Amino acid sequence: MVDRRTLHLLMGPLAFISTWYLLRSPFGSAQAAAIATACWMGLWWVLRPVNISVTAFLPIVINAVLGLVPMAQIISQYFSEIVILLLGSDLICMTWSKTGLDKRLSLKALCFIGPSLNQQIFIWFLVSTLLSVFLPNVVVCTILMPVAVSMLHFIGEKDLFSSKLAAPIMLSIVWGAGIGGFGSPIGGAGNLVAISYLEQLTGKEFMYIDWFVRFLPFLAAIMVVNLLILIKLPREMDSLPGTKTYFLEMYQKLGGISRDEMISLLLFVISIILSFVRPVYAEWLPSLKPAYVFLILGMLTFFIPNKKGYPFISWAEAEKEIMWGMMFLFAGGLALGKLIISTGAAGKLAEYITFLPLMGGFGTILIFNLFSGLMTEISSNTAAAAIVIPIVQNIIQVLSLNPIPYIYISIVGVNCAYMLPVSIRAIPVSYGLNPEIMFRYGLILSLLTIVITSIIGFLLMQYFPLFSIL
C-alpha cells in the first residue's frame, strides 16, 4: 500500500510527464516541458510532499536535464534584485527579537488595531493596499509581514501553518499588496510596461491623474471582493486572545524604547523612507534601488555595536536565522516564469488565443482576463504585462477595434493573482502560511475577480467615454 506522501511525491513527475506528452504536439517539446514544470511545481506546492523551498529548485533540475533554455537565465533568478531586497530586509528584521523591538511593535499593533479579527483583517488589508499604491508590492509585503508574524507569535500562535487566526491576517497583507499595485502607475513595474505600450500606441503622455480616474472603479470593487472572501475564511474565534486594555497595560510596562531598539527601528524606517522617496534621488543615484537600500542597511547590522559593544548580528547567527527558504521560494517562482517565457510557451498560449472566435465583446474581455490572470499566477506581473499587453493590442487591432480599453482591462488582470506561492505570494508561505489555504480560497477569489472586472470593464466601455481614450 502506497502511503500518502509517496503518492503525492509521484503525482508531481506523473503530472509533468502526462502534461508534456499531451502538449508536445500542439506546443512543441520545450514549450510543453515548461508548462509541465508549472504543473509539477503547482502540485508539490499545494500537496507539500517535500518542503516548498525544495520544490523551488525544480526549474534548475528540469532545465539541466532537458536543456530548455540557457542555464544562466534560470540561475540568475536565484539571486535577483528582489531576492537581494528580501535578504536585506531579513537582516534588519533579525535585530527585532534580539532587541525586543518585535514585542514592542506587536503590542503597538494590537493596541492600535484591537483584538477583533474582522478589524485586524480590515486594517492590515487597507494599509497593505494603500501602501502598494505608492511602493512596490514586494517592499510593502516585506515591511508588513514580519510585524504581523511577530504579533501572531506574541499572542501564542506559534504554528502559523495550522493557525486559523494567522491565515486571514497574512492573506490580507499579501492580497492587499498584490491588488494595490494597479492603484497608481508606480505601484509596479508591470504598470510602467503597460504605460509604455499605451504611449507608443497613441503618441501621447499618460498622466498619472488619468490612471486614477480609469482604475478607481476596478480597485474599489476588487477590494470589496477581497474583504468578503477574507472575512469568510474559516476561523476558530472572532477575536485574538486578550483585550485592548490588556495590550495597552503590557505596552506601558515595556517602558521607554531602548537604544538598541531605536537603532533597529531606525534601520527599518530609513529603508522604508528611502524606498518611498526614490524619485527624489533617482537622477543622482540611479542604481540605488530599494533592494540595495535594504541590503546596505541590513549589512550595517554586522558593524553597528549594540549596548554590549558587539555587532547586532554575527555571521554565525545570520547563517542560522536568515529565511533562506523564503528567498529560494520567491526565486523559484521567478525561474518558473523565465522558463515559461524563454521557451516560448507563453507565446504559444497567446497564439492559440488568436484562434478563438473573438468578436470584441464581453467574451473577448473574459478571455483576456483569464489569460492575464494565468500569466501572473505562474510568473510576475511585470513579465505578465510584457507578454499580455502586446498580444491584446495586436488581436484587437486585427479586429479593427480600439485597443485602449482592452489594454486597460488587461492591466487589471495582470495585477490580480491569488493562488500559487509565486512572486510576493511566496512571502507569507515562507513565514508559515499553508499554501493549500491560499490556493483554495485564492482560486475562488481569482474566478470572482475575473468575472467582476470583466463586467466592470464591459460597462465602462459602453458608458464611460474616457475609458476608451488616453
**Whole-angstrom distance, CA of residue 120 vs CA of residue 152:** 11
pLDDT band of 75, cuts 50, 70, 90: very high
CB 162 within 8 A of CB 435: no
How many C-beta atoms surround the C-beta of residue 315 within 10 A?
Answer: 9
Q: Decide if pLDDT at 434 tops 60.
A: yes
- Alpha helical stretches, state H, 232-289: 244-253, 259-276, 278-281
Written in H, E and C, the secondary structure of 17-68 is: HHHHHHHHHHHCHHHHHHHHHHHHHHHHHHHCCCCHHHHCCHHHHHHHHHCC
pLDDT of 197-233, one tens digit each? 787 787 876 666 777 778 888 999 999 999 999 999 9
pLDDT band of 455, cuts 50, 70, 90: very high
Q: What's the confidence (pLDDT) of residue 186?
A: 63
At a CB cut-off of 8 Å and minimum separation 6, what does 402 contact?
396, 468
- Residues 456-469 have a mean pLDDT of 87
- Residues 6-35 have a mean pLDDT of 93
80-84, 261-265, 289-293: which has the highest mean pLDDT?
Answer: 261-265
Q: What's the confidence (pLDDT) of residue 321?
A: 86
Place of cell 501572531: 152
pLDDT of 231-251, one tens digit each? 999 887 888 887 778 788 888
- Round to the nearest angstrom and report the end-to-end CA distance of the chain: 63
Nearest Cα to Cα of residue 121 among 179, 178, 76, 166: 166
Task: Output the average pLDDT for the chain.
Answer: 87
